[in-house]
Structure formats: C-alpha cells, structure tokens
Structure 1
Amino acid sequence: MGIAIGLLGRLTLPGRQHVGVLSTIVVGIAAALLGTAIAGVFDVADTQGVDWIELAFQIALAAFGVAGLDRLLGDVP
C-alpha cells in the first residue's frame, strides 16, 4: 500500500522531482501509516466501502513528504 500511496503522492506534484524510487516508497509507507493514524483520530478510518478520506490524508501526506524531500535533495548533483 505504501508503494501506491508514494507514487500517487508523487503524481500529484507538478514537474520533475529529484527523489529516487526507494525514497518515494519509504515516504509512501510513512504517509500511509501516518494518514491512517490521522484518519483514526477524526474517526473516519473505518467506513463502509472505500475509505476516501483516509486515502486523501495518505496521498496529501505523501505529496508533502516527497516535496519536502525534493526540496532537501534538489540542489545535490
């Protein structure tokens, strides 16, 4: 699940990111876990059908994580 979340988060960002695939996967896993925790706090983690709000939290966190990592690594040759 973390791989898919990381890739979806990366796809939401415009332009090219200077972040590798492995880093994207790690960010995706962290975003999936943190997004699930946040959805649990707001009591929207377990709904009938697809948990769209939880998925939105996870993808948003992955996008912020990839963007932050890109900003940190962007100037590295």
Structure 2
Amino acid sequence: MTVATLVSAVVVGLAVGVLGRLAVPGRPTAPLWLTLVVGVVAALAGSVVARLAGANGQGFRLVDVVVQAGVAGLGVVLVAATAGRSDSA
C-alpha cells in the first residue's frame, strides 16, 4: 500500500463518516468519533479489498477510491443502524 492510497483512504473515510452522519434523519445515536473511525477503518479495508480484486494500488486511482467509499459507506450505515440499540428483553 502506498502513501497515496493511505491518504486517500483516510480522506475518503472521514468524508463518508461525516456525510453518513449528516444523512441520518433525526438525532443520531452513534457519536461522531465512532462514525469517523469506522469510516477510516472501513476505507482502509476497502483499499485491501481493491488490491485483492486486482486493482493496481499504485498512487491515486479511481477504482481504489470507489471501493473505499463503498466499503466505508457500508460500515457507517451498519454502525448508524445498530448504535445505541439495546436488544436485552
């Protein structure tokens, strides 16, 4: 993984975390720091997935960014949907 890939993963993860936070209607149950951390970690995982899928991973590539954003978006949605839930009956 190159430095450009890491930087793009952090930027994409933070952007998806903030946008995911803004997209949730009503009062969000997940704290801001959690959505940001999940966005960054999921974007880094997206970089690994893109690399394993055959993306070159050399520098700043659109395929990497799209996969990073998709995986980060999925992670933020899952956290926003499940944060603050208590399933104890």
TM-score (norm 1): 0.69
Aligned-residue identity in percent: 25
For structure 2, the residue ranges without an aligned partner over 5 or more in a row are 1-6
Deviation of the 1:6 alpha carbon:
2.6
Q: How does 1:18-29 map to 2 (within 5 A)?
A: 18-29=29-40
Deviation of the 1:41 alpha carbon:
1.1
2:46 maps to 1:39: no
Deviation of the 1:8 alpha carbon:
2.8
Root-mean-square deviation (Å) = 2.6
Q: Aligned pairs, how many?
A: 75
2:61 maps to 1:54: no
Aligned residue number for residue 30 of structure 1: 41
From the superposition, tell whether residues 22 and 14 of structure 1 become closer, same or farther in structure 2 (CA, over 3 Å): closer
For structure 1, the residue ranges without an aligned partner over 5 or more in a row are none
The structure with the larger Rg is: 2
Aligned residue number for residue 3 of structure 2: none
TM-score (norm 2): 0.62
